[in-house]
Structure formats: C-alpha cells, structure tokens
C-alpha cells in the first residue's frame, strides 16, 4: 500500500456515503408519493456497497428498491383509492430513514477524519525529510 492508499480508501468512502445520503433524502422526499411515472406508489431505494478493487475502499455496487410490502391506508376520498377505499402508500418508514441518515452522516464524518489524518501524516513525513 502506498502512502496515499488510506486517503484513497477514505475518499471512496466519502463518495459512497454522499450517494447514500442523497438516496435517503430522496426516500424522505417521497414519503407520501402515491403515484410515480412507472405507476403505483414510490418504492424505497437502498444503496449496496462492495469492496473496491485492490482492497482499497468501497464502491457503490448498485441502487435497488426495497421489496417490502406497500402499506394500505384507508382514504376513500383519494383518487388513488381502490374499490374498498384503500390507497397503497410508499414503503418508506421515516424512522428507518432517519437512522440510515444518521449512520451515513457518521460514516461520512469518520471518513473525513481519516482523510485529514492521512493528509497530516503525509505532511509530517515530508517535514522529516527537510531536516
């Protein structure tokens, strides 16, 4: 591993966690979206990570949809209501999204700290050569 390997791993983590935060924000924004261009209610999206090639860092291997069932809410006045008066709602749980957001934000912060520490170590190593 080179001196920059740790910083490369932290940088890949920063990119992955930023995307994860974007996906969580999109889920929260669509918590009440009952009609999408694809038809039906919005389905929660999740980010999948994988080990980066060369064992340095992480990559986003994909973004998928959560297959959990869509909850039904009784709202007979809604234009999306079925014959029994139920509307299919998105499978977004705001509590789970907030937990995911906090986890991603903490991981992002940890990667920032690791990157800055790597930068500081590299700077200190260069200063040793000046003496």
Which residues have CB under 8 Å from 130's CB, separation 6+?
Answer: none
Does pLDDT of 8 surpass 90? no
Q: What is the pLDDT of residues 106-116, one digit of tens each?
A: 999 999 998 89
Would you state the structure tokens that stand for residue 38, as one six-digit string? 């694809």
pLDDT tens-digit series, residues 51-105: 888 767 899 999 999 999 999 999 999 888 999 999 999 999 999 999 999 999 9
Does the structure show a pLDDT above 80 at 129? no
Q: Which two tokens stand for residue 84?
A: 């029994």
């Amino acid at each position: 591993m080179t001196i920059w390997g740790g910083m490369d791993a932290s940088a890949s983590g920063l990119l992955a966690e930023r995307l994860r935060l974007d996906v969580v924000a999109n889920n929260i924004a669509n918590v009440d979206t009952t009609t999408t261009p694809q038809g039906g209610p919005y389905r929660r999206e999740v980010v999948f990570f994988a080990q980066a090639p060369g064992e340095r860092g992480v990559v986003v291997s994909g973004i998928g949809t959560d297959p959990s069932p869509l909850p039904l809410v009784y709202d007979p006045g809604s234009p999306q209501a079925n014959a029994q008066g139920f509307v299919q709602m998105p499978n977004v749980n705001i509590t789970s999204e907030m937990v995911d957001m906090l986890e991603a934000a903490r991981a992002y912060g940890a990667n920032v700290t690791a990157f800055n520490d790597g930068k500081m170590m590299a700077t200190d190593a260069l200063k040793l050569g000046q003496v």
